[in-house]
Amino acid sequence: TAAGPAAFARLSGAPVVPVFSCRVAPFRHRIVVAPPIPMESEGAKDDALRENTLRINRAIETMVRAAPEQWLWLHRRWRIQAT
């Protein structure tokens, strides 16, 4: 999982605001702007990065679980084809 957003948030002090595009009809979308994710800034750098990445992933997971048919994954994460 990419830790880039959490790393940028830590370096810049900027909040991470999850934004999602949901299809509602052909050529029609609804934009969902979730509340900012509080970032951990205390403690060891690696621990904070891990915790913040987990928080971002939880926000994504919430949207995927709410509407799994909306999920589009472009990265070939699983190399073995299902049979």
pTM recorded for the entire structure: 0.80
Residue 64, domain member (yes or no): no
Contact criterion met (CB below 8 Å) for 53 and 1: yes
Residue 65, domain member (yes or no): no
Measured CA to CA, the distance from residue 20 to residue 22 in angstroms comes to 6
**Containing structural domain, residue 21:** 4-59
Residue 70, domain member (yes or no): no
Residue 77, domain member (yes or no): no
Interval 47-70 mean pLDDT: 93
| Domain total in the chain | 1
Residue 71, domain member (yes or no): no
Residue 49, domain member (yes or no): yes
Residue 30, domain member (yes or no): yes
pLDDT tens digits, one per residue of 4-45:
999 999 889 899 999 999 999 999 999 999 999 999 887 788
Q: What are phi and psi of 62, to 5 degrees?
A: -60, -45
